Chain A
Amino acid sequence: TAGITQAPTSQILAAGRSMTLRCTQDMRHNAMYWYRQDLGLGLRLIHYSNTAGTTGKGEVPDGYSVSRANTDDFPLTLASAVPSQTSVYFCASSESSGGSTDTQYFGPGTRLTVL
């Protein structure tokens, strides 16, 4: 079982360009999440989805958008990238959002550099 996959592994992007980070899980988990991780800071939630067809804003949603057309895929789009969006991006999923089933499983991450 692959678990969660993310693509690309890394990317260098010019400021002002758009980009979509892809995330796919094969565990049939209901909930999915996007985080960014910056040196010295904890993981910060960007957007989440409790179930297919619904999304919600996390702690740092500005400049990012998501969609959840089906259970497996949860792409993250940067409409017009800025240097402050340079970070490592992790996608995660959990069986549901409530109690012990909240255990989140992470993809390998995408390292994004915006110049």
Chain B
Amino acid sequence: GQNIDQPTEMTATEGAIVQINCTYQTSGFNGLFWYQQHAGEAPTFLSYNVLDGLEEKGRFSSFLSRSKGYSYLLLKELQMKDSASYLCAPLDSNYQLIWGAGTKLIIKP
């Protein structure tokens, strides 16, 4: 079956760095997306990885290892507005997104 595993909740301090891990098992693989979702709002696109390695985009970076079925999202210089859920979603062989339940990130002053 297809499965996504992310921590349910994480807590970090404003100004610090946090890494949100995601492991996945899918039928085929065509890349992996990370989305951010603030409470009561729609998910918004953060990053897309299809090759192994690190993609950096401002304060956010995303890493992929296809052989390990593993990805992480790295958030630097945390701000209070980064309090949100972070959704890991690989694309399977049918180009369907398989969504994890998300990691709720709580930022404390």
Chain A residues engaging chain B, CB cutoff 8 angstroms = 35, 40-45, 48, 58, 90, 97-100, 102-109
Does B54 sit at the interface, judged by CB under 8 A? no
Contact residue among A42, A98, A100, A107 (Cβ-Cβ distance under 8 Å from B99): A42
Does B75 sit at the interface, judged by CB under 8 A? no
Instruction: Given A102-B31, A107-B42, check contact A44 B99 (CB 8 Å).
Output: yes
| B43 CB contacts on chain A under 8 angstroms | 43, 90, 106
**How many residue pairs, one in A and one in B, have C-beta atoms under 8 Å apart?**
53
Q: Is the interface of B mostly helix, strand, loop or mixed?
A: loop
* 23 A–B contacts, CB within 8 A, in A order: A35-B99, A41-B101, A42-B4, A42-B98, A42-B102, A43-B43, A43-B89, A43-B99, A48-B96, A58-B96, A90-B43, A98-B95, A100-B48, A100-B50, A102-B31, A102-B91, A102-B95, A102-B97, A105-B45, A106-B43, A106-B44, A107-B42, A108-B41
State which residues 28-53 of B face A: CB under 8 Å: 30-31, 33, 41-45, 48, 50
Q: Is the CB of B42 within 8 A of A90?
A: yes
Q: Is the interface of A mostly helix, strand, loop or mixed?
A: loop
Q: Is the CB of A99 within 8 A of B96?
A: no
Residue in B closest to A106 when the chains form the complex, CB atoms = B42
State which residues 45-90 of B face A: CB under 8 Å: 45, 48, 50, 87, 89
Residue in B closest to A105 when the chains form the complex, CB atoms = B45
Q: Is the CB of A100 within 8 A of B87?
A: no
Q: Smallest CB–CB gap between A100 and chain B, Å?
A: 6
| B102 CB contacts on chain A under 8 angstroms | 42
Q: Is the CB of A42 within 8 A of B87?
A: yes
Q: Smallest CB–CB gap between B48 and chain A, Å?
A: 6
* A-B pairs, 5 with minimum CB distance: A42-B99, A106-B42, A43-B99, A42-B101, A97-B95
A100 CA / B30 CA spacing, docked (Å): 9
A109 CA / B42 CA spacing, docked (Å): 7
Residue in B closest to A42 when the chains form the complex, CB atoms = B99
| A102 CB contacts on chain B under 8 angstroms | 30-31, 33, 91, 95, 97
Instruction: Given A42-B100, A98-B95, check contact A103 B33 (CB 8 Å).
Output: yes
